[in-house]
Chains A and B, each alone.
Chain A
Amino acid sequence: MKRDRFYKRLFEIIPGLLTWLTLGSLFILAFIKPLWVAIFVITFDLYWVARISYLTTLLIFAYRKLEKEKKTDWLKRCQLLGTIDGLGYENIYHAVLFPVYKEGIDILTSSISALIDSNYPKNKMIVVLSAEERAGQETRDNVAALKERYKKDFFKFIITRHPDNLPGEVKVKGANATWGAQELKKFLDSEKINYEHVIISCFDADTCSEKEYFGCLAYHYITNPQRMRSSYQPIPVYNNNIWQARSIARILELGSSFMQMIETMRMEKFVTFSSHSMSFKTLVDVGYWPVDMISDDSVIYWKCFLYFDGDYSVIPMYVTVSMDVATERGIIPTVIKQYKQKRRWAWGVENFPYVMMGFLENKNIPLTKKIRRGFNLLENHYTWAVWAIIITFIAPLPLIFGGGLFRETAIGYNLPSISAALFRISLFTIFVCMFISIRLLPPRPKEIKPKKMLIMVIQWALAPLVAALLGSTPAVDAQTRLMLGRYMQFHVTEKRRTRSAQHK
C-alpha cells in the first residue's frame, strides 16, 4: 500500500518535473551556454514545422473522410446490413446519457431536439437526464419539465437525481454519469434488455448530435467484431454558438476539433474525448466511469484498456456532435474561461499515474505495448506543456542573455531569420485550418451580418498570439498542480448562449 502510494506520487510528479526541467534548464543554459540553446531552438523549430506539417496532412485526410461520409445514409446502410452475430439495428437500443448540472433548459432542449431530429427510430432510444442534487431546485424542475415534454417521443425518458457526497465520490461529472448509468441499468434489468444490445452515449449537456450520428454508431457497432472492446468516438465541433462566440474562443475550440480529427487518423494513440459512445455491457463490466477523477472521458478508455489487457480500441466515426464554444461577452473573461477549460482538459495528465499504476498491476499487457502507450501518453502531455513556451519565450533568450559575443556569432546572427523563415513555412497550416473551419461552419443565422464571414477568415491572424498565450500555459498549470499534489476540483465550464444562438 505504501509502495503503491510512492509509485502513484512518482508518476504524478514525472510529467510536471520533465516540463519544468526542460523549461528551467533551457532558461539557465540561455545565460551560460546560449549556443547550445540556439542549436536546440533551431532543431525544435524544425521538428515543430515537420510535426505540424504531418499533422496538417492528417487533418486534410480526416477532413476528406468527413466530407465523404457526410453524405452517407447510415440508417439505410444498417437496414441493408441485416443481422450480424444476432445484432441488427432493430434490436439495438441507444441510451443517451446527459449528466446535468446547472445548464439552462434552453441548452438541454436543443440537445434533446437534436435527438428527435436524428435519422433513427426514436422508439429505440432511451434518454437519461441525471441531474446533480446540489444544482438545486431549478435544475430539478427543468429536467422534470423536459421529461413531461418529451417522454412520449422516446422509448423511455429517465430522469434521476444524483445525491451529493456519496462515499468515495468527489464532485466530478463522472460520478453523476455513473449514477445515471446505474439508474439506466435498473430500467434495463426491469425490461430484461440485454446489455450487449444497448449502446450508451455519454453526452455533455450541450451536445447536439448530427442527424446521422445514431445510424453511424449502430452501423459501426454491428459491423465491429470487437464491438465490446471498442469505444466509438465522433468528431466534436463547437458549432452551437460559433457565430456568436469571440474569435479567440473560436480559434481555440476549432483547434480542439482539428486535433480530434487528426487523432482519428492515429488510432494507436486514439483515446475517447468529451462525448463518446460504448457498449453498455462493457461499461457495466469495467465498473462505469470513475467517480473520483475529472477526466472521466479519457479515463473510461484507459479503464477498459486495462480491463481487457490492452485489447481495447477507439473507433473513429466521421460524424460530428456539436457543442457550445466556451465564450463570454468580454475578451478577458473569455480568455479566463478558455484558460480554465483548457486547464481542465490538460488535467487529463492525471491519466498518466492512473495508467502507469494499472500497467504495474496488469501482467498480461505486453511490455512493448505498455512502453509505447505510456510513452505516447507522457509525450502528448509533455509536448503540450512545452511547445508554445519554447517557440515563443525560450527562442529569443539566447539573443537576450547571450551577450554581445554570441550575437556576433553566425548562429546568433542567423537565429531570428531562421526562426522567422520556419514560422512563415508553418503559416500554411493556418491557411489549411482557415479553409476547413469555413467548410465546417454551420449556416449563418439570419441575425448575423454577412460581414461576419470575413471575420471568420481573418480571425486566424490571431492564431500565433492565441497559441503563445494559451497553447501551453494551461498544461503547465495542470501538471504543476499534479506534481505538487494540489489536486484540481471539477470546474464546470458554464455554457451560456446569447438569445440569437438559442433554439437554432
Chain B
Amino acid sequence: MNKSDAVKRAVAFYFFVALFFISLPITLSYSLGYHIDYHELKIYKTGIIYISTQPSGASIYINGKRHTDLTPAQIEELRPGTYRIEVRRKGFYPWAKDLIVRPNMVTKADRIVLFPTTLEITRISKHEASDFVISNKNYIYYLTRSGLFRSNIDGSNLKALLAYSNWPKDIINKKFSPDGDKFLYFNKWTIDAVYLNLDKDLTLGHESARVEEVLASSDPIIDAFWHSRSGYIIVFTESDIKVVELLGGGKRNIVSLYKFNRMPRGIYYDESADSLYFTDFEREADGKEMSYVYRLDLRQTFFDSLMQLLLKKEAEAGYEKR
C-alpha cells in the first residue's frame, strides 16, 4: 500500500471512529429519553406521548396549543408532568384527556376511536319485525307477526321460512346453537327451539323451519345455553340446573343435574370448555351459610357417561315398577 493509500485510509478510519463516538451519546440519550439543551448546556429527562386515532389524520392540541403533526404522532421531548391532550377532526366528536408524562417513559393513547357526528342509520328489514336473531352464518332471522323470515346480513335476499306468529312478548333472550341450525328463545317459564334448514318435503306444511316448545318449567328460568354438541340445552332455573335433550323422538329427556340450596347470584357457561360456573350457598359447621363458586364439568366424555348413567337408572326404576 502506497503512502497516499495509507493517508486516505487513515482519514477514513478516524472519520468513522469520530462519527461513532460523536453519534453514540446523541443516539443513546435520544433513545433513553434524555434531551440536551444546547443553549443552557443541560441534560434533562423527557417523556413521550404516542397518539393514534381511527380514523387517522386528526389534529393534536397539547395544553390548547396545536401540534404540527397529525395522528398517528409521537410527541417527544416533553418534560415530565400532566398535559391536556385534545384530538379533533372535522366530522367527528373530539377526544380529550389529561395524560401524565413520566421521565424516560412513553404514555400511549393509541387506538382512540373518533365517532362521527352524523351517524348513518340504514333500515334493513322491509317488513315489521317484533324481534330478530343473527346467526353465525351471517343471516338475520326476523320474528314477525306474519311469520319467520330470513335475509342476508345487509337485509337483501329476504325469504319467508315459516308462517308462525305466536312469538311470546316477554322473550328474555335468544341464542343460536353452535352448529347454526337452530336457535332458542325463552321467557320466564318456557323455552322454545326453532329448527332451521329443514327438508321441505319432510315437513307437514312444506316449510323450511319449525318451532317447538322444549321446556315448560315450573320454576322461573334464569338463563339457557347451548351445549357445544348443539343437541342439548343447559337451563338455569331458580331451583336447579337442567339438561334438555333435543334429539330423537318420543319423550324428551330432561335431567336435573344439580339442585341449588338457594337461588344462584352468579352463573356463567363456558361454551368452549362446556363448563358451568355458578354460586351456591353451603351451610358451615357453625351453622352459618356461606356462598361459594362451583364448577360443573359437562365436557363430552363426562356428559355422555352421565346421561347414560341417568337413563340406565331411569330404565331400571321403570322395570322395577312394572
Q: Using CB atoms and an 8 Å cutoff, list the residues of chain A in contact with chain B.
A: 38-39, 42-43, 46-47, 50-51, 53-54, 57-58, 61, 65, 264-267, 316, 408-415, 418
Question: Pick the contact of B28 from A42, A58, A65, A265 — CB < 8 Å?
Answer: A42
CB of B53 to closest CB in A, whole Å: 18
A50, B17: Cβ atoms closer than 8 Å:
yes
B20, A42: Cβ atoms closer than 8 Å:
no
What residues of A have a CB within 8 angstroms of the CB of B105 in the complex?
Answer: 408-410
- B122 contacts A by Cβ under 8 Å: no
Alpha-carbon distance A433/B104, docked complex (angstroms): 39
Query: Using a CB-CB cutoff of 8 Å, which residues 1-45 of chain B contact chain A?
Result: 1, 5, 8-9, 12-13, 16-17, 19-20, 23-24, 27-28, 30-33
Known: A408-B105, A410-B48. A57 touches B12 (CB 8 A): yes
CB of B188 to closest CB in A, whole Å: 46
10 A-B pairs in the complex with CB atoms less than 8 angstroms apart: A53-B16, A57-B16, A265-B1, A409-B33, A410-B32, A410-B33, A410-B46, A410-B47, A410-B104, A413-B48
Question: Pick the contact of B9 from A51, A265, A410 — CB < 8 Å?
Answer: A265
CB of A480 to closest CB in B, whole Å: 30
What residues of B have a CB within 8 angstroms of the CB of A46 in the complex?
Answer: 20, 23-24, 27
- Residue of A whose beta carbon sits closest to that of B33: A410
B106, A42: Cβ atoms closer than 8 Å:
no
What residues of A have a CB within 8 angstroms of the CB of B294 in the complex?
Answer: none
Known: A316-B1, A408-B106. A42 touches B31 (CB 8 A): yes
B9, A61: Cβ atoms closer than 8 Å:
yes
Which has the most chain B C-beta neighbours within 10 Å: A47, A54, A61, A316?
A54
Known: A42-B27, A57-B12, A410-B47. A50 touches B19 (CB 8 A): yes
Alpha-carbon distance A267/B16, docked complex (angstroms): 19
What residues of A have a CB within 8 angstroms of the CB of B47 in the complex?
Answer: 410
- Residue of B whose beta carbon sits closest to that of A51: B16
Please report whether the interface of chain B is mostly helix, strand, loop or mixed according to DSSP.
helix
- B258 contacts A by Cβ under 8 Å: no
Known: A39-B28, A410-B47. A54 touches B5 (CB 8 A): no
Which has the most chain B C-beta neighbours within 10 Å: A50, A53, A57, A410?
A410
CB of A423 to closest CB in B, whole Å: 14
Alpha-carbon distance A408/B109, docked complex (angstroms): 12
Alpha-carbon distance A293/B19, docked complex (angstroms): 41
A411, B8: Cβ atoms closer than 8 Å:
no
What residues of B have a CB within 8 angstroms of the CB of A408 in the complex?
Answer: 105-106, 108
Alpha-carbon distance A266/B8, docked complex (angstroms): 12
A418, B12: Cβ atoms closer than 8 Å:
no
CB of B259 to closest CB in A, whole Å: 45
CB of B93 to closest CB in A, whole Å: 28
- B115 contacts A by Cβ under 8 Å: no
What residues of B have a CB within 8 angstroms of the CB of A409 in the complex?
Answer: 33, 104-106
In the complex, the 4 A-B pairs of residues with the closest C-beta atoms, listed nearest first: A410-B33, A50-B20, A54-B16, A413-B106
Alpha-carbon distance A413/B12, docked complex (angstroms): 33
Known: A42-B27, A58-B12, A61-B8. A410 touches B106 (CB 8 A): yes
Alpha-carbon distance A266/B19, docked complex (angstroms): 20
Query: Using a CB-CB cutoff of 8 Å, which residues 78-124 of chain B contact chain A?
Result: 104-106, 108
Alpha-carbon distance A174/B27, docked complex (angstroms): 49
Which has the most chain A C-beta neighbours within 10 Å: B8, B20, B23, B104?
B20
What residues of A have a CB within 8 angstroms of the CB of B30 in the complex?
Answer: 414, 418
- Residue of A whose beta carbon sits closest to that of B9: A265
- B303 contacts A by Cβ under 8 Å: no
What residues of B have a CB within 8 angstroms of the CB of A418 in the complex?
Answer: 27, 30-31
B1, A267: Cβ atoms closer than 8 Å:
yes
What residues of A have a CB within 8 angstroms of the CB of B48 in the complex?
Answer: 410, 413
CB of A18 to closest CB in B, whole Å: 22
Alpha-carbon distance A413/B30, docked complex (angstroms): 11
Alpha-carbon distance A412/B33, docked complex (angstroms): 10
- Residue of A whose beta carbon sits closest to that of B104: A410
CB of A225 to closest CB in B, whole Å: 15
What residues of B have a CB within 8 angstroms of the CB of A61 in the complex?
Answer: 5, 8-9, 12
Which has the most chain B C-beta neighbours within 10 Å: A51, A53, A413?
A413
A411, B24: Cβ atoms closer than 8 Å:
no
What residues of A have a CB within 8 angstroms of the CB of B1 in the complex?
Answer: 264-265, 267, 316
- Residue of A whose beta carbon sits closest to that of B4: A61
- B50 contacts A by Cβ under 8 Å: yes
Alpha-carbon distance A58/B13, docked complex (angstroms): 9
Alpha-carbon distance A411/B108, docked complex (angstroms): 14
What residues of B have a CB within 8 angstroms of the CB of A43 in the complex?
Answer: 24, 28
CB of A69 to closest CB in B, whole Å: 12
Known: A265-B1, A411-B32, A413-B50. A58 touches B9 (CB 8 A): yes
